Amino acid sequence: MINKVKDILQGKIIKWEEKSSKRHYIEIDKKDLRSAAELLFRKLELRFCIATGLDNVKNMEVLYHFSDDKTGVVYSLRVFTDRDKGKIPSIADIIKGATWIEREMRELLGIEFTGAADTSRLLLDPTWPEGVYPLRKDYEYGRKEPRGEDSCRRPNIKIEELTKNGKKTKIIPIGPYHPLQEEPEFFELMVQGEKVIDLNINLGYNHRGIEKIAEGKHWDQVTFLVERICGICSCSHPYAYVNAVEDLLGLEIPLRAKYVRTVIAELERIHSHLLWLGLAGHFLGYNTVWMWAWKYRETVLDLCEQISGNRNHYAMMRIGGVRKDIFNSEIDGMKEKAASLVPILDLFKGAVIDDPVIHARTKNIGVLSKEEAINYCVTGPTARPSGLDQDIRKIDILNGAYQLIEWDVIVCQNGDIFDKTVCRVLEMYESVKIITQCLDKLKGLKEGNIWEEVREIPPGEGIGRYEAPRGEVWHYVRSDGGNTPVRHKIRAPSYMNVLSNELAAVGGDVSDAAITLAAVDPCYCCTERMQAVENGNVKYNWEELLRLSEEKTKRLRGELK
């Protein structure tokens, strides 16, 4: 593949930098960017991961990362542009998944993308001053901008928009503060009768500026910061971050630490999938599934607490290893607890997968085809049900035990909600398998050797990835040899997955919207708040939508009897 990339980019390469066998940085001229990106994405079928924008003070730099999902090699196209009024050709029309990141770089770094269709703000509010770019180096750490009156007003829904194709169209806003979403997001569903005809996604309600905060924290402190990106992926983000720093250092951690990392990361996957399953049941009107799933989730949280001392934010990762060891004397008890999960998973498999009503509610609903999954660059349990065989754990985790034990990647074919559910349930079995094997191996190892001493981080750059419960987590760090990262780019899986909703939800029923938007697992957290506005009058609120969904289940249940 490396030679293929070299061949296909012939004449365009200014500098080829091989950091390691799995990390290649290719400097090209920005006028070649569009053709190079198209060749890598379409011809070689590499997956576009994300783009990283950097302020080098003397100029601006953008890295476009492409991943080969068969071998785990990352090719990064590097382009430079002027700092002031720098322009880079947009690739969003070639790669749909690049739409948001271009908007983000435009508002946070001030890089213009020529030819981009959508240049509106993604994360910052409308009253953020023009020409102030928080991720630039001259924006002081800890600075704050004055806030205008309307900083959090919803975009005004215009009455004239309410007729489309001669038919009366209504807008149902879902959000911004809403259980369906990992981060508070704001979906506007445009509906004609019961059919969803368009979906508009607004982001930024959960923007906390973590990438900027990381630039002011010590390398060791950043692990705790990235843990707080998401409470449910609170092991995946630090895992990807330490992978990135270890990639920069070229460090391999002790064997025991690899097993401990794997155990805690897989426990997190089980508790996250159970959480999703329970709430998916809730949205379909099966509240019993919710209560049962969450009841048994406690077993997993107990195990996490036993290992790390906390139920959710584990603080297990450190650069060079793990912070806490698993005691060999406790391993038998842990294995028993892990084994006790299998009959519970059987129960859910039976309850969810063999149920005709769930079949009727989820089969062929919210379908994401393979082509679209590739085009939207989705990852994890949103991509695998669509037939994409990609799992970062198999290909690109040096400092984990995934290559040392036996397990399978679950791939389904239909891309509908049913397959997404099946995929997650079966993945939990794999996780139990992984945990049991790791605990067995740990028992044969001596306690104690769990981290390498890391004194300083030399100048350089590193990319770390991990397969979070929701998909690929991506971290990029750059060091200048100092105490803090110069740039820390983070991409959570939902960033890619949520955009695919604009495809999956359109064409479906309103009553299916709840489960469709939820199927990419932007986790549900708070109690719900949603209102539908029809000429200023409230039509549906969230409870109403939930009721519609539950009624549909009831109706189907009656029909199937």
Binding of another protein at residue 128 (CB under 8 A)? yes
CB of 152 to another protein, least distance (A): 4
For the beta carbon of residue 550, count every other beta carbon within 10 angstroms.
18
Q: Which of residues 134-153 bind another protein (CB under 8 A)?
A: 134, 139, 141-145, 147, 151-153
Binding of another protein at residue 525 (CB under 8 A)? yes
**338 close to 432: Cβ distance less than 8 angstroms:** yes
Binding of another protein at residue 218 (CB under 8 A)? no
Q: What CA–CA distance (Å, rounded) separates 426 from 254? A: 30
Using CB under 8 A as the binding criterion, the count of chain residues that bind another protein stands at 56
Binding window for another protein (CB under 8 A); candidates: 39-47, 179-187, 415-423, 498-506 = 179-187
CB of 198 to another protein, least distance (A): 23
Binding window for another protein (CB under 8 A); candidates: 29-37, 204-212, 325-333, 375-383 = 204-212
Binding window for another protein (CB under 8 A); candidates: 51-59, 287-295, 323-331, 336-344 = 287-295
The conformation of residue 129, written as its DSSP 8-state character, comes to P
Choose between 115 and 209: whose C-beta lies nearer to another protein.
209
Cis ω before 134 (30° cut-off from 0): no
Sole binder of another protein in the list 86, 110, 184, 285 (CB under 8 A): 184
CB of 314 to another protein, least distance (A): 11
CB of 397 to another protein, least distance (A): 24
- b/e burial code for range 168-193 (CB count within 10 A of at least 16 → b): ebbbbbbbbbbbbbbbbbbbbbbbee
Q: Which of residues 419-438 bind another protein (CB under 8 A)?
A: none
Q: What's the first-to-final CA gap in the chain, in angstroms?
A: 55
The conformation of residue 401, written as its DSSP 8-state character, comes to S
Distances 259 to 263, 356, 371, 450 between C-alpha atoms, Å: 6, 40, 36, 10
Binding window for another protein (CB under 8 A); candidates: 63-71, 203-211, 346-354, 501-509 = 203-211
Amino acid code (one letter) for 113:
F
Binding of another protein at residue 87 (CB under 8 A)? no
Choose between 232 and 438: whose C-beta lies nearer to another protein.
232
Q: Which of residues 401-420 bind another protein (CB under 8 A)?
A: none
Choose between 224 and 451: whose C-beta lies nearer to another protein.
224
Binding of another protein at residue 337 (CB under 8 A)? no
User: Parallel, antiparallel, or unpaired for β 73-81 and 23-28?
Assistant: parallel
Choose between 97 and 176: whose C-beta lies nearer to another protein.
176
Instruction: Please choose, from the candidates 397, 457, 471, 478, the residue with its C-alpha nearest in 3D space to the C-alpha of residue 214.
Output: 478
Choose between 313 and 324: whose C-beta lies nearer to another protein.
313
Instruction: Please choose, from the candidates 527, 523, 513, 546, the residue with its C-alpha nearest in 3D space to the C-alpha of residue 276.
Output: 523
Q: Which of residues 289-328 bind another protein (CB under 8 A)?
A: 290-291, 294-295, 298, 311-313
Q: Which two tokens stand for residue 191?
A: 């509906």
Binding window for another protein (CB under 8 A); candidates: 19-27, 50-58, 177-185, 466-474 = 177-185
Q: What CA–CA distance (Å, rounded) separates 492 from 445? A: 34
Q: What CA–CA distance (Å, rounded) separates 259 from 255? A: 7
Binding of another protein at residue 541 (CB under 8 A)? yes
Binding of another protein at residue 228 (CB under 8 A)? yes
Q: What CA–CA distance (Å, rounded) separates 162 from 147? A: 31
Instruction: Please choose, from the candidates 61, 400, 75, 9, the residue with its C-alpha nearest in 3D space to the C-alpha of residue 243.
Output: 400
Q: Which two tokens stand for residue 549?
A: 């969904």
Q: What CA–CA distance (Å, rounded) separates 413 from 388? A: 8
Q: Which two tokens stand for residue 309?
A: 């001392």
Amino acid code (one letter) for 219:
W
Choose between 228 and 557: whose C-beta lies nearer to another protein.
228
Instruction: Point out which residues bind another protein (CB under 8 A).
Output: 124-125, 127-128, 134, 139, 141-145, 147, 151-153, 176-177, 182-184, 204-210, 212-213, 216, 224-225, 228-232, 234, 275, 290-291, 294-295, 298, 311-313, 523, 525-529, 541-543
